[in-house]
Amino acid sequence: MKLPDLPVLAPVRRISPSLYAAGRLCLAKAAWLAHGDRSAIPDHPRALLGTAVHHVIEKAGAGRLAGSTAEERLAHARREFDTKIEELFSAAHPMLPAKFGSAERLPYYNLYKERAASIAADVAEVTHMPSGRAGSGSGRSAGRLVERGLEAEGGRLYGRIDALDPKDNAVVDYKTSRSPQEGGVRDGEARQLRVYAYLAQKNGFVINKGVIIRSDRSRGEIEISPDEAEDEARAAISTLDRLNERSGEEFASAATPSPEACAFCPCLPACPRFWDEADSSWAAETGVHLEGTVAELREAGTGIVGLDITVERGSAKRGAAHVERLTTAWLQARGGKLPTPGSRVRIVSVRAPSEDSENPVYRAHRESTSVWEVDNG
């Protein structure tokens, strides 16, 4: 596949918690989320599944799951999940159909569906009307506001809160990610909750708690004081100001690559600063990504492809290596070409060898590996 064009930094009108999380680590990452061609880079399958989970819970919270019994509401939630994921999959980057064929074959599809349906049925239980019809769709659940968009600072700060519970004085965020090993709430999640709390406070709600509810039913909470919420909101606005001060500059000038900033970065395949500065010591945090010159393509009759490659940049060990378990379908997605000897490629997200060796063998990961053509010029 051809690498996407990188955007020139342009003004951003408002900042959300997700844009703040990106910009706090790297302004270029925030610029990509705001203005980049996000359709040019394949979503991770779990991103699509997570979007479908949120859609189903939003439906439930708005009182739009039909059924007079818990089983009927569960069934409706499952259908909503299936419909939404089909919609997302049909619009997804061609790499995903090339890898999985259909939405139902996405890894953990049924697990995410059942978790979404279970949570949604619980949420719908309190919005269910005695007549057996769903609620009016007001977005209220026993006083809880669901998927409420709020603004502050003259519209410069914005967030869409998964749930706002005035009775518990809490902002609630649903996550499909696993909880940290030690439990609780991650630092980035806490920052997001504090921004949501500030938005809610500025819109007339008393908030002193942030809650993370994960799709595996684990839960984390933090206390949030008004001062903590305001400090986080000020930091978010400061990030917006710093981003807008760079307006008109080239993308790479705003990049601040580091293992922390580049981990899970969506624009990593195209970011020149990552490829200039990363080395093998970054792999533990960013994963293994490599750029190099193809020595030989080994193609089996089944469409499985292996590449002999001289690694020159990225978070992989430099020198001769082999990447196995690629396929011709992946390589040719979106008009891509099969690599030839002498061509340069970037291969993002491969599994590291089980042991160190002179000529390591990396294995493609079906969920996340992608291969990009690099201009030899």
Q: Tokens for 264, please give them.
A: 């899970």
User: Tokens 């259909």 identify what position?
Assistant: 102
Give the residue, 217 or 13, on which the prediction is more confident.
13
Alpha helix ranges (H) inside 62-186: 70-90, 95-100, 109-127
Look at residue 336 and give its three-state secondary structure: coil
Look at residue 51 and give its three-state secondary structure: helix
CA 128/CA 121 separation, integer angstroms = 10
Query: Is 70 exceeded by the pLDDT of residue 130?
Result: no
- What CA dihedral angle connects 166, 113, 86 and 327, to 10 degrees? 130
Average pLDDT rounded to a whole number, residues 57-83:
88
pLDDT value, residue 182: 80
Is the pTM value of this prediction over 0.75?
A: yes
* pLDDT tier, 126 (very low <50, low <70, confident <90, very high otherwise): low
Give the residue, 301 or 152, on which the prediction is more confident.
152
Locate the domains of the chain by residue range: 42-134, 141-245, 278-374
Of the chain, the end-to-end C-alpha distance in Å amounts to 17
Which of 309, 294, 312 has the alpha carbon at shortest distance from 361? 309
Contact 292, 345 (CB under 8 A): yes
Paired with 371 in beta bridges are 347
Average pLDDT rounded to a whole number, residues 56-74:
85
Average pLDDT rounded to a whole number, residues 39-59:
92
Topology (CATH) of 141-245: Lambda Exonuclease; Chain A (3.90.320)
Alpha-carbon Rg for the chain in angstroms: 23
- What CA dihedral angle connects 282, 285, 288 and 290, to 10 degrees? -40
Q: Which of 2-11, 177-186, 213-222, 247-256 has the lowest mean pLDDT?
A: 177-186
Query: Is 90 exceeded by the pLDDT of residue 355?
Result: no
Average pLDDT rounded to a whole number, residues 138-143:
43
pLDDT value, residue 293: 98
In this structure, the strands spanning 170-175 and 157-165 are: antiparallel
Q: Which helix (H) or strand (E) holds 259?
A: helix 259-262
Inter-CA distances, 345 with 106, 306, 322, 324, 369, Å: 26, 13, 13, 14, 13
Average pLDDT over all residues of the chain: 90
- pLDDT (tens digit, 9 = 90+) per residue, 249-282? 999 999 999 999 999 999 999 999 999 999 999 9
Inter-CA distances, 159 with 13, 76, 97, 277, 356, Å: 13, 28, 32, 34, 45
pLDDT value, residue 138: 37
| Angle ∠(3,268,29) on CA atoms, nearest 5 | 110
Topology (CATH) of 278-374: OB fold (Dihydrolipoamide Acetyltransferase, E2P) (2.40.50)
Average pLDDT rounded to a whole number, residues 287-292:
97
Query: Is 70 exceeded by the pLDDT of residue 210?
Result: yes
Query: Is 70 exceeded by the pLDDT of residue 131?
Result: no
* pLDDT tier, 305 (very low <50, low <70, confident <90, very high otherwise): very high
- pLDDT (tens digit, 9 = 90+) per residue, 79-125? 999 999 999 999 999 999 999 999 999 999 999 999 999 888 877 76
- DSSP secondary structure letters along 173-232: EEE-SPPPTT-S--HHHHHHHHHHHHHHHHTT----EEEEEETTS-EEEEE--HHHHHHH
Average pLDDT rounded to a whole number, residues 68-84:
92
